[in-house]
Each structure stands twice: as structure tokens, then as C-alpha cells.
């Protein structure tokens, strides 16, 4: 596919029963960019993220209107394989949840389940994924130790490595640094800058400064609507909509 558009949302709306959580969202995500999505709690940021890999389907009463395309395919079409879709879009949540296994097994678990059993291939895969998340140098001498002994920031990077081991096309991040200290946050942001060379990334964050640091473009959501989207520098210095400016300078949210 030659188009630079990786994800396209056209008049996309989402409902939980009678509650409308997203209202006619129109946006495009380009390949190998980091799109930041900011907005106050309840603005629809996480709902949109979970719409992309259809996690909202697991909630009774969830339904959608409009179109949401990934790689040119309508992901809500009847013939869409949700299993394949979720393999393409790895998601990392706010709270890291490492498996109660070794660091090595956390990364190797998914590939093993997918049929990779060569020790050499698994070793290469584990090392590669840990290097991509800047974790390798910190853990290479203790791969057999429990992942639960890692710090919160290390656990979160391990969860990203675990996603990478499944070779997704997209990385979805839902408040990945919300409970982390500044140094851990910095390391994850460094990882994201490297990862965008190979992946398309959507970063949902309540930390506007984080979006300003790492996002190529930023979208501002409010009450289920996308108020505006644009180059991050422009959104933060000369937003078109007054509500965007009010949120960024802390007048609400």
C-alpha cells in the first residue's frame, strides 16, 4: 500500500447503550508518526484508542457509526478478523502488568504461543525487543529473574517489549507514564522516538508536556469531539480553537 495514511476515521461515533462517547471523529494518522491525543478525563481519548483494536466490543451495549479504516480496510466490516486486527495493534495500558514469570519469558511468551520454538530465534527476539525499549543494558545479566522485581518504569518498558515481540504494525499507548517518575518517563519517551522509525504510534496522555515533547501531531478531544488536530508545535503555540488553548494553559481539565 503506497498511501501514507495508516489510519482514517470518517464521521466515526461510538456509543455505550444510549451514551454517546465519540461524536463524528474525523482524523488521519500517518505512517511512522507519533500522534498524541490530549484532553480532560471523559473526553473520549481512551474510547477512541480502544475502538482501534475493538476492545470496546467486549463491553455490552457497545456500538459504532461511521467508518474506521486501518491500512484502507474498514475494521468494523463483517469479514474483519478481530484476532488479526489485535495482532496488528499492540496496546499498552497505564498500569504495567508483567506476567509472573522471568524477564525473558515475558518477552518470549507471545512468540512461543505463536509457534516460535527455536531457542536461537527466541534469544534474538528477546534481545532485539529489549534493546528497542532501551531495557537491554539494564536487564541483560538477569533475564531469568522475576519481572515482578523490576521497577515500575522498567515493567512498563517490558510490557512494550512484550508487545513488540508479536511484531505489530501499530503501537497504542494509553497513559503509559501516568504512574511513573520523571526518569522512567524520560526513558519511555526516548524509546518512542526510536520506535516510530519502524511503527506508527498513537499516544493518549493527560500530560500535555509529554505530548509536546514526543508527538509529531496532536489532537485535542473534548466531550467526545475532536476539537482540532495539527502539528504539535502549532497546537501548543497557536491553536485555532479557544477551547484548545484553555486546556493547554490549564484553565480547565
Evaluate whether residue 253 is within a structural domain.
no
DSSP string, 182-235: HHHHHHHHHHHHHHTTT-EEEEE-S-HHHHHHH-SEEEEEETTEEEEEEEHHHH
pLDDT bracket for residue 253 (50, 70, 90): low
Name the residue among 152, 148, 143, 137 with its Cα closest to residue 105.
143
Residue 14: CA count within 13 A, CB half-sphere: 29
pLDDT at 13 over 80: yes
The predicted pLDDT at position 1 comes to 42
pLDDT bracket for residue 250 (50, 70, 90): confident
CATH number of the domain at 190, please: 3.40.50.300
Domain count along the chain: 1
Instruction: Supply the range of the domain harboring residue 85.
Output: 5-248
Evaluate whether residue 223 is within a structural domain.
yes
Evaluate whether residue 234 is within a structural domain.
yes
SS3 217: strand
Q: For 141-183, how does the pLDDT look when each residue is reduced to its tens digit (9 = 90+)?
A: 999 999 999 999 999 999 999 999 999 999 999 999 988 889 9
Evaluate whether residue 26 is within a structural domain.
yes
Whether 176 contacts 188, CB under 8 Å = yes
Amino acid at each position: 500500500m503506497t498511501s501514507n495514511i495508516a489510519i482514517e476515521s470518517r464521521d466515526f461515533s461510538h456509543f455505550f447503550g444510549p451514551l454517546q462517547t465519540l461524536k463524528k471523529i474525523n482524523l488521519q494518522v500517518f505512517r511512522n508518526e507519533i500522534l498524541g491525543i490530549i484532553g480532560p478525563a471523559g473526553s473520549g481519548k481512551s474510547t477512541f484508542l480502544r475502538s482501534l483494536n475493538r476492545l470496546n466490543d467486549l463491553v455490552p451495549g457497545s456500538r459504532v457509526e461511521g467508518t474506521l479504516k486501518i491500512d484502507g480496510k474498514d475494521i468494523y466490516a463483517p469479514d474483519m478478523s478481530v484476532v488479526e486486527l489485535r495482532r496488528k495493534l499492540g496496546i499498552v495500558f497505564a498500569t504495567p502488568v508483567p506476567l509472573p514469570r522471568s524477564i525473558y519469558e515475558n518477552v518470549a511468551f507471545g512468540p512461543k504461543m505463536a509457534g516460535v520454538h527455536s531457542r536461537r530465534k527466541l534469544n534474538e527476539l528477546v534481545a532485539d525487543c529489549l534493546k528497542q525499549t532501551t531495557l537491554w543494558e539494564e536487564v541483560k545479566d538477569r533475564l531469568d529473574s522475576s519481572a515482578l522485581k523490576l521497577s515500575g518504569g522498567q515493567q512498563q518498558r517490558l510490557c512494550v517489549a512484550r508487545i513488540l515481540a508479536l511484531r505489530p504494525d501499530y503501537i497504542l499507548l494509553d497513559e503509559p507514564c501516568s504512574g511513573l517518575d520523571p526518569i522512567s518517563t524520560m526513558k519511555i519517551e526516548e524509546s518512542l522516538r526510536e520506535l516510530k522509525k519502524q511503527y506508527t504510534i498513537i499516544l493518549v496522555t493527560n500530560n500535555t508536556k509529554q505530548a509536546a515533547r514526543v508527538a509529531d501531531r496532536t489532537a485535542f478531544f473534548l466531550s467526545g469531539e475532536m476539537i482540532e488536530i495539527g502539528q504539535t508545535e502549532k497546537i501548543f503555540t497557536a491553536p485555532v480553537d479557544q477551547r484548545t488553548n484553555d486546556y493547554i494553559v490549564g484553565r480547565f481539565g
